[in-house]
Protein backbone atom coordinates (compact mmCIF):
# COMPACT_ATOMS: atom_id res chain seq x y z
CA UNK A 1 0.00 0.00 0.00
CA UNK A 2 3.03 2.24 -0.24
CA UNK A 3 1.86 4.04 -3.39
CA UNK A 4 -0.75 6.05 -1.50
CA UNK A 5 0.36 9.52 -0.46
CA UNK A 6 -2.06 11.45 1.71
CA UNK A 7 -3.58 14.45 -0.04
CA UNK A 8 -3.43 17.70 1.86
CA UNK A 9 -4.57 20.42 -0.54
CA UNK A 10 -7.93 20.56 -2.34
CA UNK A 11 -6.07 20.09 -5.61
CA UNK A 12 -4.39 16.93 -4.34
CA UNK A 13 -7.71 15.60 -3.03
CA UNK A 14 -9.31 16.20 -6.43
CA UNK A 15 -6.42 14.35 -8.07
CA UNK A 16 -6.84 11.36 -5.73
CA UNK A 17 -10.56 11.19 -6.48
CA UNK A 18 -9.80 11.43 -10.20
CA UNK A 19 -7.54 8.39 -9.81
CA UNK A 20 -10.37 6.52 -8.08
CA UNK A 21 -12.82 7.39 -10.86
CA UNK A 22 -10.33 6.36 -13.53
CA UNK A 23 -9.86 2.97 -11.87
CA UNK A 24 -13.62 2.50 -11.61
CA UNK A 25 -14.03 3.40 -15.28
CA UNK A 26 -11.38 0.89 -16.34
CA UNK A 27 -13.04 -1.85 -14.34
CA UNK A 28 -16.49 -0.99 -15.70
CA UNK A 29 -15.12 -1.57 -19.20
CA UNK A 30 -13.92 -5.04 -18.22
CA UNK A 31 -16.42 -6.54 -15.80
CA UNK A 32 -20.08 -6.30 -14.69
CA UNK A 33 -20.95 -3.56 -12.21
CA UNK A 34 -21.80 -6.02 -9.44
CA UNK A 35 -18.25 -7.40 -9.53
CA UNK A 36 -16.74 -3.97 -8.88
CA UNK A 37 -16.24 -3.08 -5.22
CA UNK A 38 -14.29 -0.60 -3.18
CA UNK A 39 -11.85 -3.44 -2.59
CA UNK A 40 -11.25 -4.10 -6.30
CA UNK A 41 -10.75 -0.39 -6.89
CA UNK A 42 -8.35 -0.12 -3.95
CA UNK A 43 -6.39 -3.16 -5.15
CA UNK A 44 -5.94 -1.70 -8.63
CA UNK A 45 -4.60 1.52 -7.13
CA UNK A 46 -2.47 -0.37 -4.59
CA UNK A 47 -4.33 1.43 -1.83
CA UNK A 48 -6.23 0.17 1.19
CA UNK A 49 -10.02 0.37 1.53
CA UNK A 50 -9.42 2.90 4.29
CA UNK A 51 -7.69 5.14 1.75
CA UNK A 52 -10.72 4.92 -0.55
CA UNK A 53 -13.05 5.80 2.32
CA UNK A 54 -11.34 9.17 2.63
CA UNK A 55 -12.98 10.12 -0.68
CA UNK A 56 -16.11 7.96 -1.03
CA UNK A 57 -18.10 5.80 1.36
CA UNK A 58 -19.77 3.68 -1.36
CA UNK A 59 -18.98 2.68 -4.91
CA UNK A 60 -22.22 4.39 -5.97
CA UNK A 61 -20.74 7.73 -4.92
CA UNK A 62 -17.80 7.03 -7.21
CA UNK A 63 -19.99 6.03 -10.12
CA UNK A 64 -22.29 9.02 -9.66
CA UNK A 65 -19.26 11.30 -9.95
CA UNK A 66 -18.06 9.30 -12.96
CA UNK A 67 -21.48 9.66 -14.61
CA UNK A 68 -21.40 13.40 -13.95
CA UNK A 69 -18.05 13.63 -15.74
CA UNK A 70 -19.25 11.56 -18.69
CA UNK A 71 -22.47 13.56 -18.94
CA UNK A 72 -20.67 16.89 -18.95
CA UNK A 73 -18.15 15.70 -21.54
CA UNK A 74 -20.98 14.46 -23.78
CA UNK A 75 -22.89 17.73 -23.73
CA UNK A 76 -19.75 19.83 -24.09
CA UNK A 77 -18.80 17.82 -27.17
CA UNK A 78 -22.26 18.39 -28.64
CA UNK A 79 -22.09 22.13 -28.02
CA UNK A 80 -18.61 22.32 -29.57
CA UNK A 81 -19.62 20.34 -32.66
CA UNK A 82 -22.90 22.23 -33.15
CA UNK A 83 -21.92 25.89 -32.70
CA UNK A 84 -24.43 28.71 -32.65
CA UNK A 85 -25.30 29.85 -36.16
CA UNK A 86 -23.71 26.82 -37.86
CA UNK A 87 -26.65 26.52 -40.25
CA UNK A 88 -26.67 22.71 -40.19
CA UNK A 89 -29.82 20.93 -41.28
CA UNK A 90 -31.50 18.11 -39.40
CA UNK A 91 -29.66 15.33 -41.28
CA UNK A 92 -26.25 16.83 -40.51
CA UNK A 93 -27.21 17.41 -36.88
CA UNK A 94 -28.30 13.77 -36.62
CA UNK A 95 -25.02 12.59 -38.12
CA UNK A 96 -22.92 14.72 -35.77
CA UNK A 97 -25.02 13.89 -32.71
CA UNK A 98 -24.78 10.15 -33.43
CA UNK A 99 -21.02 10.36 -33.86
CA UNK A 100 -20.63 12.08 -30.51
CA UNK A 101 -22.98 9.59 -28.85
CA UNK A 102 -20.86 6.76 -30.23
CA UNK A 103 -17.70 8.40 -28.91
CA UNK A 104 -19.31 8.71 -25.46
CA UNK A 105 -20.81 5.24 -25.08
CA UNK A 106 -19.68 5.03 -21.46
CA UNK A 107 -22.23 7.75 -20.66
CA UNK A 108 -25.02 5.58 -22.04
CA UNK A 109 -23.67 2.42 -20.40
CA UNK A 110 -23.78 4.15 -17.03
CA UNK A 111 -27.39 5.03 -17.78
CA UNK A 112 -28.29 1.34 -17.44
CA UNK A 113 -27.55 1.48 -13.71
CA UNK A 114 -28.09 5.17 -12.94
CA UNK A 115 -31.70 5.36 -11.75
CA UNK A 116 -32.14 1.89 -10.28
CA UNK A 117 -28.80 1.48 -8.52
CA UNK A 118 -26.58 4.56 -8.36
CA UNK A 119 -29.03 7.36 -7.59
CA UNK A 120 -30.84 5.48 -4.83
CA UNK A 121 -27.62 4.72 -2.96
CA UNK A 122 -26.14 8.20 -2.56
CA UNK A 123 -26.91 11.11 -0.28
CA UNK A 124 -29.46 13.78 -1.15
CA UNK A 125 -26.67 16.35 -1.21
CA UNK A 126 -24.69 14.43 -3.82
CA UNK A 127 -27.77 13.71 -5.90
CA UNK A 128 -28.82 17.37 -5.91
CA UNK A 129 -25.35 18.39 -7.09
CA UNK A 130 -25.46 15.75 -9.82
CA UNK A 131 -28.91 16.80 -11.04
CA UNK A 132 -27.92 20.47 -10.98
CA UNK A 133 -25.05 19.78 -13.35
CA UNK A 134 -27.15 17.56 -15.59
CA UNK A 135 -29.99 20.02 -16.03
CA UNK A 136 -27.59 22.89 -16.67
CA UNK A 137 -25.86 20.93 -19.44
CA UNK A 138 -29.08 19.63 -20.96
CA UNK A 139 -30.67 23.09 -20.90
CA UNK A 140 -27.71 24.59 -22.75
CA UNK A 141 -27.92 21.93 -25.45
CA UNK A 142 -31.71 22.29 -25.68
CA UNK A 143 -31.26 26.01 -26.30
CA UNK A 144 -28.67 25.30 -28.99
CA UNK A 145 -30.80 22.70 -30.79
CA UNK A 146 -33.84 24.96 -30.82
CA UNK A 147 -31.76 27.81 -32.21
CA UNK A 148 -29.96 25.83 -34.92
CA UNK A 149 -32.99 23.97 -36.23
CA UNK A 150 -35.59 26.65 -35.44
CA UNK A 151 -37.61 24.22 -33.36
CA UNK A 152 -39.89 24.77 -30.38
CA UNK A 153 -37.67 25.01 -27.29
CA UNK A 154 -40.45 23.49 -25.18
CA UNK A 155 -39.97 20.13 -26.91
CA UNK A 156 -36.20 19.96 -26.85
CA UNK A 157 -35.66 18.46 -23.40
CA UNK A 158 -38.08 15.64 -24.18
CA UNK A 159 -36.21 15.03 -27.44
CA UNK A 160 -32.82 14.91 -25.71
CA UNK A 161 -34.17 12.53 -23.05
CA UNK A 162 -35.74 10.28 -25.69
CA UNK A 163 -32.45 10.03 -27.56
CA UNK A 164 -30.66 9.28 -24.30
CA UNK A 165 -32.88 6.36 -23.36
CA UNK A 166 -32.69 4.97 -26.88
CA UNK A 167 -28.91 5.04 -26.55
CA UNK A 168 -29.04 3.40 -23.12
CA UNK A 169 -31.15 0.58 -24.55
CA UNK A 170 -28.99 -0.03 -27.59
CA UNK A 171 -25.62 0.24 -25.91
CA UNK A 172 -26.61 -2.68 -23.68
CA UNK A 173 -26.85 -4.80 -26.83
CA UNK A 174 -23.39 -3.68 -27.91
CA UNK A 175 -21.91 -4.45 -24.48
CA UNK A 176 -23.74 -7.70 -23.81
CA UNK A 177 -22.25 -9.55 -20.84
CA UNK A 178 -20.25 -12.75 -21.31
CA UNK A 179 -22.90 -14.62 -19.31
CA UNK A 180 -25.65 -13.39 -21.62
CA UNK A 181 -23.57 -14.30 -24.67
CA UNK A 182 -23.04 -17.79 -23.24
CA UNK A 183 -26.78 -18.20 -22.63
CA UNK A 184 -27.57 -17.25 -26.23
CA UNK A 185 -24.90 -19.64 -27.50
CA UNK A 186 -26.42 -22.42 -25.39
CA UNK A 187 -29.78 -21.73 -27.06
CA UNK A 188 -28.26 -21.58 -30.52
CA UNK A 189 -29.36 -17.96 -30.96
CA UNK A 190 -27.06 -15.79 -33.03
CA UNK A 191 -25.82 -12.73 -31.21
CA UNK A 192 -27.38 -9.56 -32.61
CA UNK A 193 -24.65 -7.17 -33.66
CA UNK A 194 -25.59 -3.49 -33.59
CA UNK A 195 -23.95 -0.57 -35.35
CA UNK A 196 -24.51 1.85 -32.50
CA UNK A 197 -23.65 5.01 -34.43
CA UNK A 198 -25.82 4.16 -37.42
CA UNK A 199 -28.73 3.18 -35.20
CA UNK A 200 -28.45 6.41 -33.24
CA UNK A 201 -28.20 8.49 -36.42
CA UNK A 202 -31.35 6.96 -37.88
CA UNK A 203 -33.28 7.37 -34.64
CA UNK A 204 -32.20 10.97 -34.09
CA UNK A 205 -33.06 11.84 -37.70
CA UNK A 206 -36.50 10.29 -37.24
CA UNK A 207 -37.10 12.24 -34.03
CA UNK A 208 -36.00 15.53 -35.61
CA UNK A 209 -38.21 14.94 -38.65
CA UNK A 210 -41.19 14.46 -36.34
CA UNK A 211 -40.63 17.91 -34.83
Find the Cα–Cα–Cα–Cα dihedral 193, 64, 24, 173, rounded to 10°.
-10
pLDDT at 202: 97
Are residue 36 and residue 86 in the same domain, yes or no?
A: no
**Mean pLDDT over the full length of the chain:** 92
Are residue 126 and residue 144 in the same domain, yes or no?
A: yes
Statement: residue 2 has pLDDT above 50: no
Q: What percent of the chain has pLDDT over 70?
A: 94
Kindly state the average pLDDT of the residues 12-24.
94
pLDDT at 174: 61
| Structural domain count of the chain | 2
Structural domain containing residue 8? 1-57
Looking up residue 11, the CATH number of its domain turns out to be 1.10.10
Q: Which of 68, 72, 52, 146 is nearest to 114 (CA)?
A: 68
Looking up residue 123, the CATH number of its domain turns out to be 1.10.357.10
Each residue of 81-110: pLDDT tens digit?
999 999 999 999 999 999 999 999 999 999
Are residue 3 and residue 85 in the same domain, yes or no?
A: no
* Confidence class for position 160, pLDDT limits 50, 70, 90: very high
Amino acid sequence: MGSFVRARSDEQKAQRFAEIKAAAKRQFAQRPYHEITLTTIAEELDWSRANIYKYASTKEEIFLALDADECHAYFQALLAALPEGCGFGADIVAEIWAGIASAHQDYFRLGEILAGIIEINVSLERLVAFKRGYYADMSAFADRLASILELDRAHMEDLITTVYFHGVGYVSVCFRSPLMAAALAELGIERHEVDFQRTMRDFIAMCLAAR
